[in-house]
Structure 1
């Protein structure tokens, strides 16, 4: 299931070249991903942190294909994948799209850890939602 949200480039995110600074692309993807995690997966970061469960990123890759400009209204997509190797990881393929053209693509990988430390894991409610998810091998991005 692909999830999406619409955003508008803010003036303060524009660099001296008149394009959006590369730093902000992952932030817009994070806004969309966090909404997806809360609305679709039912994981509320604040509530879970209060219970001692932290969802964290372990890696991400990003490709910049085209630049966004001030006031561009664009769509950010988010799609969930299970780990092909069976590791306790969530993979999110995301894109930024403007006028039907892909501007940026990324894969974000995350997991959960106890606030007190320990090995990465996914809570039971999360693993239940991964049963039907397609699998992704981050080593090959397939």
Structure 2
């Protein structure tokens, strides 16, 4: 299931070249991903943190194909993937799209850890959602 949110480039994110600074692309992806995690996975980051469960990123890869400019209206997608090896981690494949063309694409990998320290794990509610998720092959 592909989750989609729409955003407009914040003028404060534009650099001296007239394009969006590369540091902000992952932030827009994060906004979308956090909404996906709450809306689709039913995992409220703030509520779970209060219970002592932190969802954290362990890695991400990002590819920049085009640049966004001031006032561009664009969409960010998020799709859940299971781990090929069965490790307690989840993958989010995300894209930023402008006028039907991919601007940026990325894969974010995360897991959950106890706030007090301990081994990575996934809550049963998320494991259940992964049963029907495609497996990340790349």
TM-score (norm 1): 0.96
* Shift, 1:121, TM fit: 0.3
Instruction: Encode CA deviations 1:35-90: one digit per residue, 9 max, x unaligned.
Output: 00000000001110010000000000000000000000000000000000000000
Moved over 6 A (4+): none
Whole-angstrom distance in 1 between the partners of 2:136 and 2:117: 26
Match of 1:68 in 2: 68
Match of 1:56 in 2: 56
Match of 1:123 in 2: 123
What 5-or-longer segments of structure 1 have no aligned partner?
none
Whole-angstrom distance in 1 between the partners of 2:103 and 2:47: 34
Aligned pair count reads: 138
Match of 2:28 in 1: 28
Please say if 1:106 is aligned against 2:91.
no
Match of 1:83 in 2: 83
TM-score (norm 2): 0.99
What 5-or-longer segments of structure 2 have no aligned partner?
none
